[in-house]
Amino acid sequence: MTRKKSTKKTKTKLNFPYKKISLKWYDANSSSGWLTLEAMQKFEPALCHSSGWIFEENDKFIKIFATYSFDKDDGTMEYGEIICVPKIWMV
């Protein structure tokens, strides 16, 4: 009996040293227009949600990226959608 050759592509394992994370954090909110008393009383910071991989973290901030690619010429990793959130802003 002849075995069929597999056409399934094998995945190359990437040495990916970054940990996935989801963040909730507050950001400043502003208004340059006129607000009523009721609108002013309801005015609060914006609650933000960000997901990505931790690039750097220390006592003051966390820096994450949400997308990445590899340079076609030399294979170096490139980072996109980068955000650095102060720890005191995190929920």
Q: Would you say residue 60 lies in a domain?
A: yes
Q: Would you say residue 2 lies in a domain?
A: no
Please report the pLDDT score of residue 36 as a whole number: 98
Residue type, 66: A
Q: For residue 25, what are the β-bridge partners?
A: 48, 90
Please report the pLDDT score of residue 15 as a whole number: 80
Domain containing residue 64: 20-29+43-89
Q: Would you say residue 37 lies in a domain?
A: no
Q: Would you say residue 76 lies in a domain?
A: yes
Please report the pLDDT score of residue 41 as a whole number: 97
Cα-Cα-Cα-Cα dihedral sign, residues 78, 80, 85, 91: negative
Of residues 23, 34, 16, 17, the one with CA closest to residue 87: 23
Q: Would you say residue 80 lies in a domain?
A: yes
Structure tokens that stand for 77 in this block:
């990793």
pLDDT in tens, the chain (91 residues): 666 666 666 555 668 899 999 999 999 999 999 999 999 999 999 999 999 999 999 999 999 999 999 999 998 999 999 999 999 999 9
Q: Would you say residue 51 lies in a domain?
A: yes
Q: Would you say residue 63 lies in a domain?
A: yes
Please report the pLDDT score of residue 16 as a whole number: 87
Number of domains in the chain: 1
